[in-house]
Structure 1
Amino acid sequence: MASSSSMTGRFDPFGIAARPAAVRAALVLAGTAVLALASQISVPMVPVPITMQTFAITMIGVLYGWRLGAATVLAWLGEAAIGLPVLANGTGGLAPFMGPTAGYLVSFPIIAALVGFLAEKGWTGQRVALSFSAHALANLLCLAIGGAWLMALLGVEKGLVLGVTPFILGAVLKSALAAAVLMAIGRRFVRN
């Protein structure tokens, strides 16, 4: 059964747009749990670890749509701000919002909204090159905002070396993985 939003061309394989508010609220909570788990898949680096956060954030943006995706990421950041250990390496509280990771954290709801918006314009599913591009743009925007914050803290050269350059390959790989997963979801969605 195709959702009404699928008939308008929006990529919504799970029919989230047509779900009642209570179901969408439950999806936000489920999304924050997914983000907390993805944050624990981490390669320790200084001053910012490599995690699967951006992969989970962009996937939530696409699958939930830009509004619910951004709201989910904001809820997760709210959980972190009140001290829940939902960020990388089980951290929480206000310190991550003022330290080296602050720029990346600020970028997260923005990139969820960006990929969600691009997905609503058709940049996902069977359009693999556009899907990859949407995720790559989001990842690069995350690196730009996070790197700018690090550059302000540490200087331009150190900010680039520690906060941007080591993450470019990971951004490309996560973008490719996201595009492949969404293509598989899209194929199943079209088949059903």
Structure 2
Amino acid sequence: MSETTAKTVTYSPLALESRPLVWQIAAVIAGTLVLTLSSYISVPMYPVPVTMQTYAILMVAALYGWRLGALTVLAWLGQAALGMPVLAGGSGGLPAFAGPTAGYIFSWPLITAFVGWLAERGWNGRRPVLAFAAMVAAGTFCLAMGTAWLAGFIGVDKAIEVGFLPFIPGDVLKAALGAATLMLLSRKAKGGNA
């Protein structure tokens, strides 16, 4: 079974799937810390702030792979559910999972698994255009899911106006930054192996 898994994974920059369990646990802890720090880089907007969370989520996905990446995001959201101040603006607690931004939050494990799965199969720094496309698709899904949830609070038209359209340029920029970061890491890894 592990032989089959190894054949399907074409690229894993950190090779976490082959590292000891203690390394994987440390990676999850480090990932939740990075995700938390990204939450504090914020531009206040109402009702949804612009943060670097999406960029960090996409990077965890692409660098950790779909399984460990999704586990990391779920661990981080578990911290939030327990009330730890790990989300945008230092928020946390169960109200975050029922408020206007919950749709975005619920999309994060899904987009992590999606981007991580594609990254393992070549949509990564070795093919930055594909990495960019995967990240734009993930960002669009996140925005759509968040907007659908937000519509229950403020109506469909207003949700699209304040919860979807203003975030498209930022998500495209985050996807471009993510693809560029992966490309640089891929080149550095290739140069280190030469």
Unmatched runs of 5 consecutive residues or more in structure 1? none
Percent identity (aligned): 55
Question: Structure 1 length as normaliser, TM-score?
Answer: 0.94
In 1, distance between residues paired with 2:99 and 2:83?
15
Aligned pair count?
Answer: 188
Shift of 1:8: 7.0
Measured on the aligned residues, the alpha-carbon RMSD in Å equals: 1.5
**Hey, what does 1:25 align to over in structure 2?**
25
In 2, distance between residues paired with 1:155 and 1:164?
13
**Hey, what does 1:103 align to over in structure 2?**
103
Q: 2:42, 2:50 within 8 Å by CA — same for their partners in 1?
A: yes
Q: 1:151, 1:158 within 8 Å by CA — same for their partners in 2?
A: yes
In 2, distance between residues paired with 1:189 and 1:134?
21
Give CA deviations for 1:64-116 in whole Å, capped at 9, x if unaligned: 00010000000000000000000000001111111011000000000110100
Alignment of 1:5-154 (within 5 A): 10-154=10-154
Shift of 1:9: 5.9
Question: Structure 2 length as normaliser, TM-score?
Answer: 0.93
Unmatched runs of 5 consecutive residues or more in structure 2? none
Shift of 1:22: 1.3
List structure 1 runs of 4+ shifted beyond 3 angstroms: 5-9
Give CA deviations for 1:149-188 in whole Å, capped at 9, x if unaligned: 0112211101101110110000000000000000011111
Q: 1:6, 1:13 within 8 Å by CA — same for their partners in 2?
A: no
Q: 1:83, 1:94 within 8 Å by CA — same for their partners in 2?
A: yes
In 2, distance between residues paired with 1:46 and 1:39?
16
Does residue 1:166 correspond to 2:166, yes or no? yes
| Equivalent residue letter for 2:73 | V
In 1, distance between residues paired with 2:190 and 2:6?
9
- Assess, with a 3 A threshold, how the Cα gap between structure 1 residues 7 and 189 changes in structure 2: closer, same or farther: farther
In 2, distance between residues paired with 1:27 and 1:33?
10
SS of alignment partner, residue 36 of structure 2:
helix
